[in-house]
Structure 1
Amino acid sequence: MYNSILVPVDIIEKDLTQKVIPHVEYLAKLSNANVKFFHVLPISSAIINAYSFGMDEFKDQATVQAENWLKKLIHEIDLPKETLSYSLAFGNPRDEILTIAEEIQPDLIIIGSRRPNISNHLLGSNAAGIVRHAKMSVLVIR
Structure 2
Amino acid sequence: MFKRIMVPVDLAHAGRLERALSCAADLAKHYDATLVYVGVSAATPSSIAHTPEEFAQKLSEFADAQAETWGISTQSHAMTSHDPAIDLDPTLMKAVEETGADLVIMASHIPNITDYIWPSNGGTIAGHAKVSVMVVR
> Is the deviation greater in 15-24 or in 113-122?
113-122
Give the counterpart of 1:78 among 66, 70, 76: 70
Q: Equivalents in 1 of 2:134, 2:125: separation in Å?
A: 10
Residues 87 and 69 from structure 1, CA distance in 2 versus in 1: closer, same or farther, beyond 3 angstroms? closer
- Which residue of 2 is the match for residue 8 of structure 1? 8
Partner of 1:61: 50
Report the Cα offset of residue 69 of structure 1.
Answer: 5.2
Give the RMSD, CA atoms, in angstroms: 2.2
TM-score if structure 1 supplies the norm length? 0.77
TM-score, normalised with respect to structure 2? 0.79
Alpha-carbon contact 2:3-2:33 (below 8 Å) kept: yes
Contact persistence 1:11–1:66 (CA under 8 A): no
- For 2:84, the equivalent position in structure 1 comes to none
Q: Percent identity?
A: 25
Higher relative contact order (CA 8 A, sep 6+): 1
Higher Cα Rg: structure 1 or 2? Answer: 1
Higher helix share: 1
2:56/2:77 contact within 8 Å kept? no
Q: In the alignment, which residue of structure 1 is the partner of 2:91?
A: 96
What amino acid sits opposite 1:103 in the alignment? E
| Structure 1 portions without partners, runs of 5+ | 47-54
2:127 counterpart of 1:132: yes
Q: For 1:23 and 1:106, how far apart are their aligned partners in 2?
A: 16
Instruction: Out of 124-133 and 98-107, give the one that drifted further.
Output: 98-107
**How many residues matched?**
127
* Secondary structure in 2 matching 1:140: strand
Unaligned runs of 5+ in 2: 82-86
